[in-house]
Amino acid sequence: MHNTLITCNLSENNIGDEGARTLSVALQSNKTLTTLDLCWNEIRVDGAQYLSNALKINNTLNTLDLCWNKILTEGAYYLTYVITTIDVRWNGVSEELLHSLGLALRENRKTKENTETIPSGCLYPHSKFEYVQFVECNHRQSFGLFKNVQLAFKRSSATATIPIKPLSPTLSAGAKQRIGLWLAWSAGMTAGAVVLGGVTRLTQSGLSMTNWHWLNDMNPPRSAEAWQEEFERYKRFPEYEQMNREMTLDEFKRIYYMEFAHRMWGRATGLIFAFPACMFWYRGFFDKGMKIRVIVFGSLIAAQGALGWYMVKSGLHKDTLIDGRASVSPYRLAAHLGTAFVLYSGLLWNSFKYLSKPDIYSSTRVPRGWAMGVHGLLSLIFVTVVAGAFVAGLDAGLVYPTFPKMGDHWIPPEYSALSPWYRNMFENPVAVQFNHRVLGLTTTASVLAFSLASLSVKFGRRAATARNLLAAMVIFQASLGIGTLLYHVPVPMAAAHQSGSLVLLSFALWLGYNLKRVPKI
């Protein structure tokens, strides 16, 4: 090997294990090389062992970049004791390796004279860690373990050894799958509550149960007298007075059972989330970060119940009605729906983390801007959903059942009918429908533009599949929205449109998650 060369970049040459063996022979006699870049070379366990053996003899190389190879845990172990700077991103290393590195870092320290000392028990002079980087190492608790490794690194400058905190136990594949399925099931229950809530609103059933109690609500009326008493209570509220004066008892039972089903589904969602969460927590399956997320998710579920009743109350009392109309507050409806979508997104995203199998992207790298673009799409979808909640709360889908124009106008003349001006954004049905149209079309155009522009970019199989499904779904969702408008908001089509927003969000989340795992350039 050249006797004056200090930096060598052999990345993306596919040298493999045989090339690594040839290179290791040269490294044994070289005395000048300090930096060697071997990214993207299909180097596996054997290649890592060859390099490790060479570095036992070579005392000058202090930086070896093996990102995006396939050395796995066994190969990384070979390198643990022979390199100053070790970078093992995207190599499928395990938590056991991180534990080993953490212990090595704990012993790695400098004297007051700032001269490096070889830790006891280490055989080779390269056993002096100065820099460690772990990114996407294909394990579930990397964040918590990374903090422990960094803690050991910070303490490595002390003259005395300070013990580090014990690392969290490694989860088995079965435990990870159980946690992932629990999160996915909880997300599915949340989605079901959103769909059922949408049907409840579309059938004008949401105000049929005029009180709220955690236990009493679980027992609907049993006798004819109890049903009549419940019906008489309903008659005292504005919805009956304004809209349902001709309603019969049988018709009341239908809307009552619809609201009852929605409430019971919400309670079932809470129980399905809470009981497994307590069991997993007790068995020590959660790291610190996951414990925080579980508390947040549980709090959101509890808040949803309270927020749902807070929303219903706004349609029961005359002093909280908007313009005297017997309907729930669109503000509270938007908050209720928006919170449900946030909860659903968090549960689904975390289920991906536990259920997705690790990928080794051997020939895939994308610019970071694409991942940022997905964040923008997610934000746009969420804002459009919240705008749709205001459309639902004001029955704004009925005011202009035409497309693409609103009547004879592109911008309706009633857009600024209310004063002050900002009330039009949330309380004027015409303005609310116009805003939702614009946001929906903007979302559709943005998703399609993103998909078309990224066709030539290698996203990897999973991310590309998610992108294609997202593009197809946004076209279907826009078509549903237009159809709902033109056919005067039929219940099946309107319910499908609301459900479609969940599917659209799910594909966007799946795209974002998979794109996050693709190496960036």
Rounded Cα distance between 231 and 239, Å, is 12
pLDDT at 39: 81
Stretch 466-475: mean pLDDT: 97
pLDDT at residue 90 above 80?
no
Report the share of the chain in percent with pLDDT over 70.
Answer: 79
Rounded (to 5) percent helix, strand, coil in the chain: 60, 5, 35
Domain boundaries, the chain: 7-93, 173-355, 358-520
pLDDT at residue 107 above 60?
no
Stretch 3-29: mean pLDDT: 83
> Contact at 8 Å (CB) between 79 and 87?
no
Task: Supply φ then ψ for residue 87, to 5 degrees.
Answer: -125, 110
pLDDT at residue 425 above 50?
yes
Rounded Cα distance between 349 and 471, Å, is 20
**Which tens digits make up the pLDDT trace of 52-87?**
888 888 878 878 888 777 777 667 766 765 554 555
pLDDT confidence bin for 295, thresholds 50/70/90: very high
Place of tokens 């953490």: 102
Q: Is 173-355 assigned to CATH 1.10.10? A: no
**Which tens digits make up the pLDDT trace of 331-347?**
999 999 999 999 999 99
93: CB partners within 8 A, 6+ apart: 71, 72, 73, 76, 134, 137, 138, 139
Report the share of the chain in percent with pLDDT over 90.
Answer: 50
pLDDT at residue 133 above 50?
no
Fold for domain 7-93? Answer: 3.80.10
**Which tens digits make up the pLDDT trace of 170-213?**
678 888 899 999 999 999 999 999 999 999 999 999 989 888 87
Top pLDDT among 471 and 165 is at 471
Average per-residue pLDDT for the chain: 81
pLDDT at 455: 92
**Total-model pTM:** 0.70
Top pLDDT among 184 and 20 is at 184
For residue 459, give both structure tokens.
């996203």
The lowest-confidence range among 19-28, 162-171, 290-299, 345-354 is 162-171
Task: Supply φ then ψ for residue 414, to 5 degrees.
Answer: -85, 10
